[in-house]
């Protein structure tokens, strides 16, 4: 099975539910954009769960894929070569933003 065939098997978040979640957010007293991208993330999660309001995530998981490769040596990466180790360590120690969010 190729990647395109595999991706066709994945159920996409419900666009109608996402619009419902967006309309609900617009009725709240929080100014638009005050939560940064969390607004968008909440709407996506609501659509993925097919539920407005969004349900609490009971057992969050962090799945991390990391690797060092030669692209950093070409000067096109925002991180130096070997920097993946530091990012992984921060996630394992619970100090990275994504680790904090997963708690």
Three-state secondary structure string covering 12-29: CCCHHHHHHHHHHHHHCC
Using DSSP, state whether 6 is helix, strand or coil.
Answer: helix
How many CA atoms are closer than 13 Å to the CA of 79, on its beta-carbon side?
Answer: 12
User: How far is it, in rounded angstroms, from Cα 41 to Cα 57?
Assistant: 13
Which residue ranges in the chain fall short of pLDDT 70?
none
| Cα–Cα nearest to 54, from 41, 63, 45 | 45
Q: Could you give the domains of the chain?
A: 1-57 (1.10.1610), 59-103 (no CATH)
pTM: 0.60
Please give the C-alpha separations between residue 80 and each of 49, 83, 92, 93, 99, in angstroms, as whole numbers.
38, 5, 20, 21, 22
């Amino acid at each position: 099975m190729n990647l395109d065939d595999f991706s066709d098997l994945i159920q996409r978040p419900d666009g109608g539910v996402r619009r419902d979640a967006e309309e609900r957010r617009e009725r709240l007293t929080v100014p638009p954009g005050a939560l940064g991208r969390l607004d968008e993330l909440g709407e996506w999660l609501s659509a993925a769960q097919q539920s407005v309001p969004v349900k609490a995530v009971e057992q969050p998981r962090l799945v991390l894929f990391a690797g060092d490769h030669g692209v950093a040596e070409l000067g096109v990466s925002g991180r130096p070569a070997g920097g993946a180790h530091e990012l992984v360590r921060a996630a394992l120690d619970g100090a990275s933003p994504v680790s904090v969010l997963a708690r």
